[in-house]
Structure 1
Amino acid sequence: MRTRLIALILLAANTVALADDNPRTVSVSGKATVTAQPDIARISMSVVERNKSLNVAQQSASATTAKILRLLDRLKIDRKRIDTTGLNIRPDYRWNRTSEQQELIGYVVERQIMVELRDLDNLGKLLEGAVEAGANQVSPPGFDRTDRAELHRRALADAIRDARANADVMVAAAGAEIGNVMTISSSGMPSQPRPMMRAMAADAVAESAEASYVTGDIRFEAFVNIVYELAP
């Protein structure tokens, strides 16, 4: 009888421990978005020249690159935010149907230019001016914020508040109370807008091409998952 009583006591203790190891919880998610106008644009452009002579192709590419640099100087872009070190040289071949062989017809020289623009009012002038100066490949600008970390943290805090509000509704409807946070995780990255051509009214056809580039907002999105313990 004594042995059986001890066994029952141990079983009850284990049951209490098991209950403590598996507390009642509620799992919720939250999301938030913070939008902001970009204050940085990163533009990649290339000058590509083809010629029978490698020297001529190089000189032509260098001359065009110099013209683009003068444009950037006029726009007062700091040289520290300009990179012109990208260089690619490759032979230019053409298929000869008569000999059924590839034949060398010249060379292709590509100069790559990377620019970080801080004054977005000059975005249109930069894009249009670079093409006029001879850039024959211009990639869509990539936009960013100098305070991206702060904006993402703001979205993260808003997402946590959203999750807590969701938990309050669920728990109150169930007639319970929220306890401590048990786990919390987050995810989310800012999306990158592309420049949009602004629609022009009939009476604004004469508007300059530089003014037709309009940037969209950057969206900083945050998503969180939180597990709350229910109060006893």
Structure 2
Amino acid sequence: MRKALALMFLSFTIVAGLAHAEDRLIIVGGSAEKSLDPNMVTLNVEVWSKATTAKQAQQLAANQFKQVKKTFDEYKVKKEDIQTDNYSLNPEYIYDQKTQQNKMVGFRVVQTLMVTLHKVNEAGNFLDALVVEKKSTDSGVNINSINWDSDQRTKVETAALGDAVRAAKEKAEEIAKAAGVKIKAVARISHGVTNVRPPVPVNRGFAMKAAMADSAPTELSAGQIKVRVDVTAEYEIN
């Protein structure tokens, strides 16, 4: 019985000691932000068509896609930089005021593609080439969004991460100095990366107006990509 009580007391002492040690921490946050020029742009391209029958709608969409594919070839877009994100074929309805019911009037096909262009200076002309003026209103192309990026992002994130950790350490050392204690070791560090500039949505009507005859070429400003890294660091103190 005494042996059991002694073991229980020893176990409690160890746990209490560990809990006390865990409480002796300085917890700080650090952040760093870096910028870089984009060298690639990804566009969300939507190819659509509508017709009275599903088969006609699909055929119109296929014809429209052929035109889009020609533009891809002209701008030397690689196969691996073209990805079908979604394909849908759905009936279209209008509300009949007389019968007070939805009436099916045809079918619509929508195919969305994620297309990456590595020559960012050609992005405006590429957009104009994709969306051309046409008299018919049974098919067309929309540009839903554009997203500037860089294949050097990982290197920049790593550099920013080091700066964020150093910023956190300096802050912890300053706190420890003011409190009259010393830092022994790092207990834990976590981090997160934020893309400060999210994808830019493009108004559906914008692409059509930009491609109208006699209109000025579309100009797209890439600006800079900003990457922010935040860290939370826990330091053990004596």
TM-score w.r.t. length of structure 1: 0.75
Residue correspondences, number: 209
Correspondent of 2:217 among 206, 209, 219? 209
- Preserved CA contact (<8 Å) 2:46 2:113: yes
Q: Deviations over 1:99-125 (max 9, x none)?
A: 333333222122323212222112112
- Preserved CA contact (<8 Å) 1:64 1:133: no
1:223 aligns with 2:230: yes
1:94-105 pair list within 5 angstroms = 94-105=94-105
Distance in 2 (CA, whole Å) between partners of 1:88 and 1:117 is: 25
Distance in 1 (CA, whole Å) between partners of 2:30 and 2:80 is: 41
Rate the CA distance shift 1:86–1:20 in 2: closer, same or farther, 3 A: closer
Rate the CA distance shift 1:196–1:93 in 2: closer, same or farther, 3 A: closer
Which stretch of structure 1 is more off in the superposition, 123-132 or 94-103?
94-103
Residue 196 of structure 2 is matched in structure 1 by 191
Distance in 2 (CA, whole Å) between partners of 1:42 and 1:154 is: 25
Rate the CA distance shift 1:156–1:125 in 2: closer, same or farther, 3 A: same
Residue 129 of structure 1 is matched in structure 2 by 129
- Preserved CA contact (<8 Å) 1:44 1:114: yes
Distance in 1 (CA, whole Å) between partners of 2:164 and 2:156 is: 12
1:40 aligns with 2:40: yes
Bigger radius of gyration, 1 or 2? 1
| Secondary structure in structure 2 of the residue aligned to 1:38 | coil
Residue 81 of structure 1 is matched in structure 2 by 81
Distance in 2 (CA, whole Å) between partners of 1:40 and 1:91 is: 37
Q: How far did residue 195 of structure 1 move? A: 5.3
Distance in 2 (CA, whole Å) between partners of 1:92 and 1:194 is: 30
Correspondent of 1:159 among 164, 179, 183? 164
1:93 aligns with 2:93: yes
Q: Which amino acid aligns with 1:83?
A: Q
Q: How far did residue 175 of structure 1 move? A: 3.9
Residue 51 of structure 1 is matched in structure 2 by 51
Q: Which amino acid aligns with 2:150?
A: R
Residue 169 of structure 1 is matched in structure 2 by 174
Distance in 2 (CA, whole Å) between partners of 1:161 and 1:142 is: 31
Q: Deviations over 1:124-176 (max 9, x none)?
A: 12222222277442111123332333322222111100011112222233344
- Preserved CA contact (<8 Å) 2:50 2:60: no
Correspondent of 1:181 among 181, 186, 203? 186
Distance in 2 (CA, whole Å) between partners of 1:191 and 1:129 is: 30
Q: How far did residue 193 of structure 1 move? A: 4.0
Residue 118 of structure 2 is matched in structure 1 by 118
Distance in 1 (CA, whole Å) between partners of 2:97 and 2:201 is: 45
Distance in 2 (CA, whole Å) between partners of 1:226 and 1:93 is: 57
Distance in 1 (CA, whole Å) between partners of 2:69 and 2:56 is: 20
Residue 6 of structure 1 is matched in structure 2 by none
Q: Deviations over 1:59-81 (max 9, x none)?
A: 22222211111111111111221
CA RMSD, 1 decimal: 3.2
Q: Which amino acid aligns with 1:122?
A: E
| Secondary structure in structure 1 of the residue aligned to 2:195 | coil
- Preserved CA contact (<8 Å) 1:143 1:194: yes
- Preserved CA contact (<8 Å) 1:193 1:218: no
Distance in 2 (CA, whole Å) between partners of 1:89 and 1:19 is: 62
Q: How far did residue 208 of structure 1 move? A: 4.9
Q: How far did residue 213 of structure 1 move? A: 0.5
For structure 1, the 5+ residue unaligned runs are 1-9, 198-206
| Secondary structure in structure 1 of the residue aligned to 2:131 | helix
Q: How far did residue 196 of structure 1 move? A: 10
